[in-house]
Structure 1
Amino acid sequence: MYSSLASRVFIKAKELGLMKPGYVWILTTGVIDVLSSINQKNVEAMEGVLGLKTYIQESKDLDEFRSRWRENKPGKELNVYGLWAYDAITALAIAIEEAGTNNLTFSNADLGRNVSEFQDLGLSQYGPMLLRTLSGVQFKGLTGDFRFVKGQLQPSVFEIVNVIRTGEKSIGFWTEENGLVKKLDQEPQSMGALSTWQDHLKHITWPGEATSVPRGWEIPTNGKRLRIGVPKRTGYTDLVKVTRDPITNSTEFTGFCIAFFEAVIRAMPYDVSYEFIPFEQPDGKPAGNYNDLVHQVYLGNYDAVVGDTTIVANRSAYVDFTFPFIKSGVGMIVPMKDAVKRNSMSLFKPLSLMLWLTTFVSFFLVGCTVWALEHRVNPDFRGPPKFQASTIFWFAFSTMVFAPRERVFSFGARVLVITWYFFVLVLTQSYTASLASLLTSQQLNPTITSMSSLLDKGETVGYQRASFILGKLNEAGFSQSRLVPFDTSEECDELLRKGPKNGGVSAAFLEIPYLKLFLGQFCNTYKMVEEPFNVDGFGFVFPIGSPLVADVSRAILKVQESPKAKELERTWFKKKEESCPDPVTNPDPNPSFTSRQLGVDSFWLLFLVVFGVCIYTLGKFTLCLLWKTEGTGFWTAFQEPDNDSYISRVEKSPCSSSPQMPRVQVQLRPYR
């Protein structure tokens, strides 16, 4: 496009109002390279235009050439085309010098060609050689490095300029290697997931002296601010809250949905002006349900809706939803009751049946092992069969509560008893702790486990007023007479506490975001047991075909991938009771009873150690006795006292100062 034609185009565009805020004009090198030749009045009409300009680096040779040009051609500026022409002539002169001028001959023209006007001209034999030489010419010209790559000049560096009243200003550069950069000497920057062109260019003044990035389209409100409808809620105000100051008559909009929308607008690649308008009657009450609010966008009364608006199929038939900014669903919450029956059998519940049986066997095994090790050396473990049997059980089971009166003398028995004492200590302490927890804490289980049981029993249930849940429950088979609406968490709590027999409900249905808030306040009383209905989540509402939907959805993804999303959740979905878990992570505060019972798996290592010591000591004793008896008379030797033992020698010594061992006043004879 010629510069004169470009001037007339922009003068006419300004007259038609196409150079005001909201418009974008981008020009190529054909006009920007000759911008200096356009008069000042026409340049002012082009203010705010972006363009690409061939970048020519300043050099000493270029300054000297321009000085000579001004001396010879005063009043005429030299543009890039003149500099290219000068470099082209220079390259041709260098090529001619290198090729030489020895073969400047011409051949006759090809008479078969239709060149009647040039029949007298011949064909140069010098051309092909000159072309080959010219392809290899390299030098530093006025416009930069001059060289051919595969028959083409090397790519140029383009300067991105912004037309202003005084001419132009540089806002960045484009190179084939680095793309967009603010300066040529800076390190190249990668275009990350959250990076935009604004990070790689300087500030731009747009048409109409606008500083915000134009949208590229006209919003449905004819350039005015977006009129955004906000639902008026009486409960769950952590999501959306509309507060009117009666003194100043100003309205304040707060809540998670409002804060998230504001974060999304800040993440948009351009500015969006908007104003919140509460969907309420003159008396401050809600003007309708959520379907009514969404329908206002379809009627054109609002340009958008921001709030806890759920994406459902029937609404998407006449409006467009953005990508969901919070996942949702419908959860069923029910009261919990204490499942632990405290009676006389509660003493046995801390330990599982298998642990009780294993422990009993261990007591008997340890008692028998100690009896075998002490029978020959300790009079307390000898006597009639009934006495020995009672000693085994007495010694083994009395270790649970106190040290037995019988002393042990053999080294193996002492090692076994010490190991057994440690095991009994760990077991009794664990049993005491588990029993205390069982008797003092509640084991809460839900009263109802599924929606189908509610339908089978014809139970009364509650639901959020003015939500789509009513339609879902009707579709599931609940009769209208069995449905009770509620607005706030307190109303829901009251209905569940009363129960169906006292005018309350057996269960309540809430969307997941509301359910998080509810459990953050009443976690120890209620529990979500099922998620019977699936929905996409909360989304922002726009008219069908609005160009804002795609850009807002992209901005939602940016916010969700940033730490800002978690920060907003922690701020608005915080727990209200210290005893409640964090509703964002929402762990189960009531583990099942089976997880509280102690089993063999908790003590298997201790059992293994005790059994190992029993086998080792008993095996060593048996082998030693077999070696002494040479394999014959084992049972006879086992029944007789070991007179060679250290204890027997000490008792028989007249110089012994140790107290005499108690004697059992019975006649000793071997029992077979």
Structure 2
Amino acid sequence: MSRYVVVVLLLFLAAVSGAASAGSGCIGAMVDDTSRAGKEEKLAMEMAMEDFTAKVGDVASSSSVVELCTMASNGDPVRAASAALSLINERGARALVGLHSWQEAAFVAEIGRQAMVPVLSFATAAPPSPSRRWPFLVRVARDQHAQMRAVAAVVGSWQWRRVAVLYEDVDYGAAGAGVFPHLADALRAVGSEVDRRVPVPASPSDDALRRSLGDLMGGQCRVFVVHTSAKVAAALFAEASRMGMMATGYVWIVTDAIAGAVDSLDAATVSTMQGVIGVRNHNSMDTNSKNTRDHLIARFRKRFRSQYPGDDGDDDDEETRGPHFQALLAYDTIVAVASSMRKINATSPTRATDPNPSSPTADSGETIKIAVSSNGTDLLREIKSVRFRGVSGKFRFVDGEFAPPESFQLINVAAPRYHELGFWSPEHGFSKSAGCCSRSGGGGEPSMRFLGPVIWPGKPWDVPRGWAPANGSPFTVAVPEKAVFPDFVKVTRQHGRDDDDDPSFEGFSIDVFKAAVEHLPYNFHYKFVSFNETYDSLMQHDYMKSYDILVGDTSISSGRYKFVEFSQPYTEPGLVMVVPFMANAWDRSWIFLRPFSSSMWLMIIAIGFLSKVSMVVWLFVAVVLMTNYTASLSSLMTTQRLGKDAVTAELLRATGAAVGCSKGSVVGKYLEEVLMFPAHRIRRFAGDEDHHRALVSGEVKAAFLRVSHAKLLLAKYCNELMTTGPVYHVAGLGFVFPKGSPLLADISQAILEVFESGTIQRLETAMLSAYNCTPAADRDGDDAGDLYRLGPENYWGLFLMTLFASTASLAVYGVFFHHDTTCSGGGATGGHRPGDGRRDSATVDPGGGGGGGHGDGDEAPSSASGSAEHGGKDTEMVVISMECELTACPCLPQQK
């Protein structure tokens, strides 16, 4: 409301202003006597003043009597301003109470500022820091932040991710500035958010309501929070019922202004609100306060039936209806103001003053005279210091603001009126009773589900999922016709390419999606629809507007997040390099030479030829050499198991080798921008067989694949391909959603649950084990997968060296032995070896018959010469043996 409008209205009301009258102090009450809620408040205020007067009547003097002056404003700001001026100037009101709408409060607060009269307003909506502009405004309304946290707790209990808010469209942006920041923060804390905000006029027409509700029906969100007055809510739910929005699938949550007034609503209005969840303020009460309240309620109901007979035409529930919470709060407010006035004796007459220079004036120069309270500041201070337990609970102010409630009561509107579900407090969460709202009392549950079943609109047993397709049809799940790896996604048609066929959808990605759907907390109706486009064209050009979900082996990347959103990854993240199998038998057979350099081996050979004269030193050196040799060889064998160190991304890039990746994948962009491969050296392949062919043929030296895709390729071609190098940090595969999809959070949570249950691991194992590929090196072994067990083939180089050395030695021996025997083949003659001082043996007749002489005559045969043949052979062998020892060449026995 602009200041200009206030000026005009005040000038219009100048005629009714006059000098204040002397007499007793007055509390001005402005009520709406056209509604039951207003009538209840009016009666509660009257009873409060009667009870207060009766309590202090015996000690009260005539100068300290406090009266109640009531006037009807009926929710009209102009009438409220007129009533305020009349109460201040004519009735001498020292304080004003009432005003449920912010339009009324804004008008009257300006008048209260001029007159220095405290204005106690019940309006829940207000602009930020209203007391700075209107210092005499006192809001007897609970803080919105705590209430919005209670609403968010209800939303989070049922895992609804998006909420639409309907608010009463008031001035100063009160609803937007005061409620939405608190609600948005509270919803974010439970993983939800505000989907849209829908303003509702303070005096709505049927057409305006239909337009507002029609906008909501056109969206997917089906959870609505209503933050309006009870009067506006009554018209809102009546229209929503006519439009079919109180049926199955919808969720309605109302705040305290409505939930606290359910007791005073007529039966027709309650019938249109079946299934609504209400959050209303609640304060615990001691025994005395509870007894006082129960006694007051009994008196109130009896008196209300007498004063307003047949008010709503429903006599059946008159015994249980009313007063609603706002009426009880109005009772305590009158008690607080009256006791404050009596305490400071604020019953002296007000004084009429000349207009303040800042007071509004007419163009004609006519001024408005407003009576100014002589002790308004003291009364304001005293009111804000009041503390007591009343029939509405604790009544007190904290830092000038009305203290928030200790807890909130949750109600469920159902025939005949409503039933209580339980309570929620910021400290302890949900509980079934107010007394158990503490850890020691057995309460403190984080979810509202703990409170038991809820009757939802349409009375279904299932919990509403909180959203629905805009047109009511099942959700469409897009699946690619042609995937690079059919084991992940495969679309099969029964009769060729007939588009009218009902295809089957199979693959690892499809199985993961179905498993995730089973973990959703609600029934999810969907249908698979195939598409024949690339992933990027569907995401970047269509923005997924034609589909609700895309299920496939889609890579998650930051670039794609500009157009769509992704679920939680359902595969292992990372990018690996796949190369042809590189087990080089020749290199491994001669690996035992690699621990030492060539110069080291020459040094060892040289030391070996000195070894006969320095055996002790050589043994010490040998021990050291063997120790280091063993350690170095072990390291080399381990390195061989890890792959050939020459194959790296850096080497491939430096040598200009071609590399491969999947067609349509973001890996190609990663190779260009991160690993710095030139675009013309990157080959893109459309299937796993193409990858295998290119690697085996040498068209590409390596292929860069996602970990999940690499596992599948190696499972099919384990004898020919292997992975090598590091794992590059990139995201895994995920499902795709349009921006703002309400499904995203639920599906992501379901994927995490599938992960934790081990289902995804089992599905992946089943996919890979279908090929049952065993490496050739392990087919006869016990330990499958170990391609590097040591065998004779690993050391054939060493054995070859041994064979060569043995053969060479035998050959040398044979050559020299054959040479010496040929030296003695022409006959044996006497002679001496060079440097040998012994004489040669006597020449013996091979025939054994001639009388060869004896050496020195000191040795003679012991047998007779008659045994010439036998004795001759023995003598011949001895002579030959001696001759072979003394001659320079080896000799062989010569035969006749």
Quote the residue 1:275 is aligned against.
526
Provide the C-alpha distance between the structure 2 equivalents of 1:209 and 1:175, rounded to a whole number of angstroms: 28
Distance 1:399 1:455 in 2: 43
Amino acid at match of 1:110: T
2:334 and 2:280 map into 1 onto residues whose CA distance is 23
Structure 1 pair 243/56, CA: closer, same or farther in 2 (3 Å)?
A: farther
For the Cα contact (< 8 Å) 2:475–2:525, is it kept in 1?
yes
Q: In the alignment, which residue of structure 2 is the partner of 1:415?
A: none
Tell me how far apart the structure 2 counterparts of residues 487 and 470 of structure 1 sit (CA, whole Å).
15
Matched, 1:65 2:296: yes
**1:548 to partner: Cα distance:** 0.7
Alignment partner of 2:419 out of 160, 169, 177:
169
2:544–2:737 Cα contact (<8 Å) kept: no
Counterpart-to-counterpart distance in 1, 2:540 and 2:372: 82
- What is the Cα deviation at residue 36 of structure 1? 1.9
- Structure 1 residue 226: deviation in Å? 0.7
1:33-69 superposed Cα distances (whole Å, 9 cap, x missing partner):
2212223332121123333323254723322222333
CA 1:84–1:455 in structure 2 vs 1: closer, same or farther (change >3 Å)?
Answer: closer
2:472 corresponding residue in structure 1: 223
1:258 lines up with 2:451 in the alignment: no
Alignment correspondent of 1:570: 761
Q: Distance in 1 between matches of 2:633 and 2:573?
A: 39
Partner Cα separation in structure 2 for residue 158 and residue 209 of structure 1: 24
Q: Is 2:279 aligned against 1:52?
A: yes
CA distance in 1, matches of 2:558, 2:329: 63
8 A contact 1:24–1:214 mirrored in 2: no
Query: Where does the alignment leave 5 or more consecutive residues of structure 1 unmatched?
Result: 190-194, 281-286, 365-385, 401-419, 581-586, 597-672
SS at match of 2:578: strand
Matched AA of 2:472: G
- Work out whether residues 282 and 408 of structure 2, in 8 Å CA contact, stay in contact via their aligned partners in 1: yes
Question: Which residue type is aligned with residue 445 of structure 1?
Answer: K
Give the counterpart letter for 1:158 in structure 2. Answer: F
Distance 1:70 1:334 in 2: 87
Structure 2 counterpart of 1:43, from 270, 279, 285: 270
- Structure 1 range deviating more: 135-144 or 564-573: 564-573
> Matches of 1:111 and 1:235 in 2, distance apart?
88
Cα distance in 1, alignment partners of residues 370 and 665 from structure 2? 93
Q: Which position in structure 2 is the counterpart of 1:341? A: 586
- 1:638-671 deviations in whole A, cap 9, x for unaligned? xxxxxxxxxxxxxxxxxxxxxxxxxxxxxxxxxx
Pairwise CA distance, 1:146: 2.7
Provide the C-alpha distance between the structure 1 equivalents of 2:684 and 2:338, rounded to a whole number of angstroms.
96
Q: Quick one: which amino acid aligns to residue 708 of structure 2?
A: P
1:476 aligns with 2:476: no
Structure 1 residue 143: Cα displacement: 1.5
Shift of 1:159: 2.3
Alpha carbons 2:476, 2:547 under 8 Å: kept: yes
1:110 and 2:361 are equivalent in the alignment = no
In structure 2, C-alpha distance between the alignment counterparts of 1:358 and 1:165, rounded to whole Å: 104
Describe how 1:218-617 pairs up with structure 2 within 5 A: 219=469, 222-231=471-480, 236=485, 239-240=488-489, 255-261=507-513, 271=522, 273-277=524-528, 279=530, 302-310=547-555, 320-322=564-566, 325=569, 326=571, 332-339=577-584, 341=586, 347-349=592-594, 390=612, 392-393=614-615, 397=619, 427=627, 431=630, 445=644, 476-477=679-680, 487-488=687-688, 492-493=691-692, 496-497=695-696, 499=697, 507-508=702-703, 510-520=705-715, 522=717, 525-528=720-723, 538-543=733-738, 546-548=739-741, 552=744, 554=745, 564=755, 567=758, 570-574=761-765, 576=769
The 1:241–1:344 alpha-carbon spacing in structure 2 relative to 1, beyond 3 Å, is: closer
Whether contact under 8 Å (1:330, 1:534) holds in the other structure is yes
SS of equivalent residue, structure 1 residue 309? strand
The residue matched to 1:68 in structure 2 has which SS? Answer: helix
Residues 270, 413 of structure 2: 8 Å contact kept: yes
- Measured at CA, do residues 359 and 465 of structure 1 come closer, stay the same or move farther in structure 2, by a change above 3 Å? same
Distance 2:382 2:537 in 1: 79
SS of corresponding position for 1:19:
coil
Offset of 1:393 from its aligned partner? 0.9
Q: Is the CA contact 2:576–2:723 (under 8 Å) kept in the aligned structure 1?
A: yes
Measured against aligned partners, the alpha-carbon deviations of 1:274-325 in whole angstroms (never above 9, x if no partner) come to 4242638xxxxxx6765687799679764432111246799889x6342572
Contact 1:312/1:536 (<8 A) preserved: yes
Whole-angstrom CA distance in 2 between matches of 1:158 and 1:355: 86
Aligned equivalent of 2:236: 9
Q: Distance in 1 between matches of 2:645 and 2:372?
A: 105
Mapped partners of 1:432, 1:5: distance in 2: 86
Does the aligned pair in 1 maintain the 2:248–2:464 contact within 8 Å?
no
- SS of aligned partner of 1:239: coil
CA displacement at 1:512 relative to structure 2: 3.9
Give the C-alpha shift of residue 477 in structure 1. 2.1
Partner of residue 139, structure 1: 388
* 2:810 corresponding residue in structure 1: none
Q: Distance in 1 between matches of 2:725 and 2:548?
A: 37
CA 1:24–1:341: 2 relative to 1, 3 Å:
same
CA distance in 2, matches of 1:100, 1:494: 98
**Cα shift at 1:252:** 7.1
* CA RMSD, 1 decimal: 6.0
**How far, CA to CA, are the matches of 2:348 and 2:559 in structure 1?**
85
Code of the residue aligned with 1:66 in structure 2: it is I
> Which letter does structure 2 place at the counterpart of 1:154?
A
Question: CA separation in 1, counterparts of 2:348 and 2:711?
Answer: 94
Q: Distance in 1 between matches of 2:512 and 2:487?
A: 12
Per the alignment, residue 87 of structure 1 pairs with: 332
Judged with a 3 Å threshold, the aligned counterparts in structure 2 of structure 1 residues 391 and 237 are, in CA distance, closer, same or farther, namely same
- Give me the whole-angstrom Cα distance separating, in 1, the residues matched to 2:421 and 2:399: 32
Secondary structure of 1:308 counterpart: strand
CA 1:13 to 1:232, structure 2 compared with 1: closer, same or farther past 3 Å? same
* 1:232–1:278 CA contact under 8 A, matched in 2: no
CA contact (8 A) 1:350 1:435 kept: no
> In the comparison of the two structures, how many residue pairs are matched?
507
**2-side partners of 1:292 and 1:107: how far apart?**
78
Which residue does 1:649 correspond to in 2? none
Q: Provide the C-alpha distance between the structure 2 equivalents of 1:145 and 1:443, rounded to a whole number of angstroms.
A: 74
Higher Cα Rg, which structure: 2
Q: Which digits, 9 at most, give the CA deviation of each residue in 1:225-246, with x for residues without a partner?
A: 1111223568845533568999
In 1, Cα distance between equivalents of 2:600 and 2:588 = 21
How big is each residue's C-alpha offset from its partner over 1:15-42, in whole Å with a ceiling of 9 and x where there is no partner?
1233334544443333322212223332
Per the normalisation by structure 2, the TM-score is: 0.44
Gaps of 5+ in 2: 1-227, 306-317, 361-365, 496-500, 776-784, 795-896
Q: CA deviation at 1:515?
A: 1.1
Which residue does 1:159 correspond to in 2?
A: 409
- Return the TM-score normalized by structure 1: 0.56
**Cα distance change on mapping 1:196 and 1:573 into 2, 3 Å:** farther
Q: Flag the 1:169–1:349 CA change in 2: closer, same or farther, 3 A.
A: same
Aligned residues with identical type, % of pairs: 23
Looking at structure 2, the residues matched to 122 and 478 of structure 1 have their Cα atoms a distance apart, in angstroms, of 89
Q: Which residue of 2 aligns with 1:626?
A: none
**Would the alpha carbon gap of residues 62 and 315 (structure 1) be closer, same or farther in structure 2, given more than 3 Å must change?**
closer
1:96 and 1:358, CA in 2 relative to 1: closer, same or farther beyond 3 A?
farther
Deviation of 1:258 after TM superposition, in Å, equals 3.4
Letter in 1 for 2:480: P
Q: Distance in 2 between matches of 1:84 and 1:38?
A: 17
